Structure 1
Amino acid sequence: MTLFSLARKNIARNFSQYFLYIASMVFSIVIYFTFVTLKYSDTIAEKTASSQKLDSLMSGAAVILIFFVAIFIAYSNSFFMKKRKKEVALYALLGVRNRQIGFMLFFENLLLGLVSLGVGVVLGFLCSKGFMTILIHLMGYDVIAPFTFSGSAALNTAIVFLIIFLVTSFQGYRLIYQFKLIDLFHASKKGEAVPKPSMIVAIFGVLLIAIGYWLAMQDIYTSKVWEKVGFLMTALIILTTVIVGTFLLFHSVTDFLLAVIKKNERWLWKGLHLMTISQLLYRVRGNARTLTVIAVLSATTVTTGGAVYSLYYNTNDQVMTANPNSFMYEQMDAKTDQQISAVLSETKYDESIEALSVTFNTKEFNEALIFNSSDKRIYTVINEKTYNKLAAIQGKEKLHVNEDNAVILDIGYDKRFSPKYKGKTITTENNTAITFQSFKKQTVLNVGTVGIAVVVSNDQFKTLQEEGEVLKYRVIGVDQASIDLSKKMAKELPEEALFSSAPQDFQTGIEIVGSLLFIGSFLGLVFLAATGSIIYFKVLTEAEEDKSQYNILHKMGVSAKEMRKSIASQVFVIFFVPLAVGLLHSAIALKAFSSLLMLDLAKPVLIWMIAYTVIYGLYYILTVASYNRIITQNNRTEG
């Protein structure tokens, strides 16, 4: 029997144990192959206006994926090698040479990799149509993508993953040379080093997390800490304090919580509670590094995905805020208007309005700004009558402007660095003064055409006509505004005409954010698959160690139901405590992100967190089922 055939039989015999590892690798390969295929795709280049940006995004995502998958495969492989150490020791006792054992492990791991690579590329090709259609749909296009097989993408994928598999296979080859025979026999009984808990360490861990949270919640623009320490250094401090604090949380803090629970003797002596708590005391501390990795990975995945999904979720609202009219342009001549009218078929409204372009001295309210600004600004001015006319059409509240007063329409208003408008006075070059009675974070004119607008009374508008340039704009509302219609209108307009289009702005925004959502979602799924797999491997390794304990309980007459309950409780803590910590980390990060962008992210973030938790929960169910199967089979065998 050759070493290669022996490796093949070992894989076939232990396939159920290798299945999730293979599945995770296959999924990673499918995603990588998809990204590379999309990078070379002509369909994407033809259908989208941002194909070059997408190419760069896909390349960046592929690099991140390679880095992560390489670490994940090496980490997962170490679990399997640990599980195989006793088997390796038996081969050595039977007289098999170290070199032959090393080559057997090398071939075994390489064969797993080659099988995963072949299956991954095939599935990647079969799924490429669906993935490409999803991407195009997320980018706002209603197109069914064709089946695409890229030889360049397949070669790229094969080279990258063969290198990863060769490195991990060599890791297996070196196993027999790294340990003494006695160490190999007792390897399965060795976990991560178990540090002794300390009250000082526990308090320090909580303090570190609190410091990280406090820094994250500080406003980047106004915080003295961010200003003095610097952006990069502060971000590094936040990451360091939170990660180290998380490690110390699992290292010592949870130990004290479990110790407190253990003091409740009345509860402790019911069922298998004593065994459950005792094992958790060891495992939470002993697996502190692994649980920290899970918490940080979960936080990273949820934060990144939640942020991108929030941007995607809010894209339409942001476009509608900036473009309350489907189309708006500066009127140049009657002929152009006639050509535009010929292009338009049906409209909800089509209005021509008069506005002024006036230069104001804004020194008074610029003094309090964080960022320096010019003391003179040009504002588009409309009268109260025009505003109310458009507001009625758009379903907005009417506005009353007092004499010599004004209301400014600034959709980007932010109290941190926007002017303090209310009560401030600005003057024209001829010293005509107007005072802001209020401001609104909405507008009735497209910002892309007029910028920030100022509403004055009808009489004041007549006065300002003598000082400003009179402009005429056409505002159009269409029920089914489309990119094609926008392109036809733009073609009829001269280049100097200021033209803004809601569907065009939406398409531009959705292309960028949609591609980010696609990349973030699939990278997130890979991270989630890896996260679930790491815990799965870890827990099942511990299940092998626990077989004898549960067999003793079985012989003592403990019911299978009680054992399943104990197992479910232990695995629940191992799975969901790091998830809860990760979600808390991500909630703080997304709150800071929300404050930075002045967006309400509550709903999209909650949707993202629920989706992540549901998929993560499936790994928990699978792990508990596998754990129970190992214990049940052992009890039947041992009696």
Structure 2
Amino acid sequence: MNSFKIAYKLLTNNLRIYGLYVIVLVVTVATYYNFVAIQYNDTFVQLTQRLQSAVVASMTSGFVLMCTVVFFMWHANGFFFKQRQKETGIYMLMGISSSKIGRVFAIESMLLGGLSMVVGLTVGVMFSKLFFMLLGKAMSLEVEIPFTISFKAMIQLVIVFGLIFALLGRKNYNEVKKSRLIDMIHATKAKPAVPQLNYVKGILGVVCIAVGYLVALTFLRWNLDLLFAAMTTLVLVSAGTYFFFGSCLTIMFKKLLKSKQMVYKDVRLVSISNLFFRLKANYRSLAMTAILAAATVTAFSISLAFKQYAEDHKLIEAPYSITYASSDPDIKDKVRQAIEATDHQLIGWNELRLLPIKTEYASHIRIDPQNEAILISYSQLQRTLEFLEYKNFEKLLREMEPQSNEIVFLFSARTMASPVRVHGEEVKINGEPYRVKEARQVPITGNVDRFGNKNIYVLPDKDYTKLQTNHDETLLHGIRISDQENSEALVQSLAAIVPGGKVNGSINQYVQEYYALGTFFFLGSIMSIVFMMATFSTIYFKILSDAFTDKEQYTILKKIGMSEAEVGRSVYMQVGIAFILPVLVGIAHSMVAMSMLEVIMSVQFVTQMLYSIGIFVVVMIAFYVGLSKNYTRMVYTEASRT
């Protein structure tokens, strides 16, 4: 029998063992195919600039997905090889050369990869129509996207995943080739070595995480570039997590084992000792679990945050049904008559007096394009927020009310996210100095021509009156009508009335970046599902590996009188610590990442973050209980039969 037939037979016999691994790979392949297919879909290409957000988001998501899955596959492959070391030793004992065994294992891993790609591609193609329908809905696209099969996406996927599985096959071949028979036969009986204490790496782990957190939370204060700050945080936190579980956790458990009151109680000694002596072999999987947990919670939090932000920002960009600029009262009467002549009902009419100004910051930072901005009075801000019935506007107005020599900064309607901070800065408005009291984003003008791209400054009424004397104001009319979704015909008729035809309807006020939020919400939700599956799988393989090792130990403990209830408590504690530590570290990483996003976007996502953490914790608890019961059954019930 040749190597290929042996590998095929082994694969069919071990499919039950590979079950969860194959499921994760199939989902990953299907997801990656649809991510890549976005940039090759002809219908999306025809949607002009809206495509760019989807393409960039899908390429970024695909890259992150591949990095995550490569780590997961490498870890899972190591688990499978470890569990089959005794089988490898038996093959060697039968006289089969290590090179042939290596070829068999390499072919088996590539066959497994091929099976995952075939099934994953089939699933991806079958659900691609649904994928693009949901993506189009998230992006508010009104175009029907036909079902297509992207052969370019298939080729790219086969190349990427084929290379990964080829490398895994080569790795398995090399592992078997350099293995010794005696080590393979006694692999399951090998005792873990006592972890070595490395205080330098332990301290370095904590320092790296702390510095990474500090950079993420204070990068604006240090005037760091956003990309540099994000990459620095990612590298420091990832390295710190690796050192924390590899060295710092070893030191902590060593200290804990010396505490008699803590350890010598109930079954704690067994659980803590098992964790301590396996840290040298398990710290990589624990660190990876923490990073995957952080990725899961962050991806889900960001998707929820962007969804909420998109809803909130809709009012920022289009607070009115119709807007136009004119100081002529006759034009106003004609516009009113035109509205009353239609089926639309006039709900309200807001008039904003806008004063064009020049700004100059004492710190010479560039905030306003060409140093041009808009000035309004506080009473106009108050009247506008009341007119729009903006949420918590009374509290907001109290917080923002400027005093003498103070000014409030309002981001332009087109600002989707800005790390700029002007709070406390001194700015000169047409030569007069003021201190910026607050920096917020609230609905004022909307994303309209001439004004939507300009930041707005708010002065006390008396200070505004002084500056108003020598400058010409622009009167912007904001109108709210019923059934504004079907107001396009009315807007076109009003364009014939208003000089210059500059009339804006609510439908055409959105900037293209708004639709990117829907893209990130949809892709982020899918990413969080894949990350969660990878997190569960990583923990599962780690716990399952420990269970195989613990069978002999718990058989001995049972013989000397340890009850099943005591075994269960020991297992729950041991598995619980392996769950809790990576999950807590991952949640902490995610909270810092979301705090950084809050700084960038100048909003708070506390509710979305708590919601995503809550769901993740609930699912993890359910998974923990089920896995602990399975662990107890393996090490106690099944071990007693041997």
Compute the displacement of 1:25 (Å).
0.9
User: What's 2:491 paired with?
Assistant: 489
Q: Which residue of 2 aligns with 1:515?
A: 519
Say if 2:299 and 2:527, in contact at 8 Å, map to a contact too: no
CA drift of 1:91 comes to: 0.9
Instruction: Tell me which residue corresponds to 2:9.
Output: 9
Partner residue, 2:415 = none
Query: How far off its partner does 1:93 sit?
Result: 1.0
The match for 2:478 is 475
In structure 2, do the counterparts of structure 1 residues 270 and 472 end up closer, same or farther at CA, with 3 Å as the change threshold?
Answer: closer
TM-score w.r.t. the length of structure 1 is 0.82
Identify the range of structure 1 (616-625 vs 82-91) with the bigger mean alpha-carbon deviation.
616-625
1:106-125 correspondence runs (5 A): 106-125=106-125
Q: With structure 2 as the length reference, what TM-score do the two structures score?
A: 0.81
1:555 matched to 2:549:
no
Shift of 1:527: 2.9
Cα-to-partner distance string for 1:348-379 (whole Å, 9 max, x where unaligned): 5353747354446x56xx32564477997553
Question: How far apart, in 1, do the equivalents of 2:79 and 2:39 lie?
Answer: 34
1:330·1:497 contact (CA, 8 Å) conserved in 2? no
In structure 1, C-alpha distance between the alignment counterparts of 2:487 and 2:228, rounded to whole Å: 49
CA, structure 1 residues 306+14, in 2 after alignment: closer, same or farther (shift >3 Å)?
A: same
CA distance in 1, matches of 2:264, 2:305: 48
- Cα deviation digits, residues 531-572 of structure 1 (max 9, x gap): 322222222122211111112223334332322222222112
Shift of 1:56: 3.7
1:271-282 pair list within 5 angstroms: 271-282=266-277
Amino acid at match of 2:287: T
Measure how far apart 1:59 and its partner are. 3.3
SS at match of 1:96: coil
In structure 2, relative to structure 1, the CA distance for the partners of 1:409 and 1:341 (3 Å cut) is: farther
Q: Please list the CA deviations of residues 507-527 of structure 1 after superposition, one character each: whole Å capped at 9, or x if unmatched.
A: 744420111222233233333
What is the CA-CA distance between 1:236 and the residue it aligns to? 5.5
1:565 aligns with 2:569: yes
Task: Name the CA shift for 1:193/1:487 in 2 (closer, same or farther; >3 Å).
Answer: farther
Match of 1:160 in 2: 160
Count of matched residue positions in the alignment of Structure 1 and Structure 2? 621
CA contact (8 A) 1:315 1:510 kept: yes
Residues 349, 479 of structure 2: 8 Å contact kept: yes
| Residue 437 to residue 32, structure 1, CA distance change in 2 (3 Å) | closer
AA in 1 matched with 2:524: G
- CA shift, 1:437, in A, is 12
How far did residue 144 of structure 1 move?
A: 7.8
The 5 Å alignment of 1:14-53 reads 14-45=14-45, 50-53=50-53
Greater shift, 66-75 or 548-557, is seen at 66-75
Are the counterparts in 2 of residues 369 and 417 from structure 1 also a CA contact under 8 Å?
Answer: no
Q: 1:84 matched to which residue of 2?
A: 84
- In 2: Cα distance, 1:204 partner to 1:459 partner: 55
User: Structure 1: how far apart are the matches of 2:99 and 2:383?
Assistant: 87
* Kept in 2: contact 1:125–1:149 (CA 8 A): yes
Matches within 5 A, 1:219-238: 220-223=219-222, 238=233
Match of 2:309 in 1: 314
CA distance in 2, matches of 1:438, 1:232: 28
SS in 2 for 1:16: coil
- Residue pairs, 1:595-606, within 5 angstroms: 595-606=599-610
Check 1:629–1:309 CA distance in 2 against 1; reply closer, same or farther (3 A cut).
Answer: same
- SS of aligned partner of 2:73: helix
Deviates more, 1:499-508 or 1:320-329: 499-508
Aligned-pair identity in percent equals: 25
Pair 1:542 & 2:546 matched: yes
Superimposed CA distance per residue, residues 245-279 of structure 1 (whole angstroms, 9 cap, x where no aligned partner): 33333234334443454455466445432211111
Change in Cα spacing, 1:75 to 1:182, as seen in structure 2 (3 Å) is: same
Match of 2:289 among 271, 291, 294: 294
C-alpha distance 8-614 of structure 1, shift in aligned 2 (>3 A): farther
Pairing of 1:431-470 with structure 2 (within 5 A): 441=440, 442=442, 444-446=444-446, 448-449=448-449, 450=451, 451=454, 452=456, 454=458, 467-470=470-473
Counterparts of 1:291 and 1:262, CA distance in 2: 20
Question: What secondary structure does 1:174 align onto?
Answer: helix
Alignment-derived partner of residue 171 in structure 1: 171
Structure 1 residues without counterparts, runs of 5 or longer: none
Query: CA distance change for structure 1 residues 409 and 342 in 2, over 3 Å: closer, same or farther?
Result: farther
Instruction: Tell which deviates more after alignment, 18-27 or 407-416.
Output: 407-416
Root-mean-square deviation over aligned CA pairs:
4.3
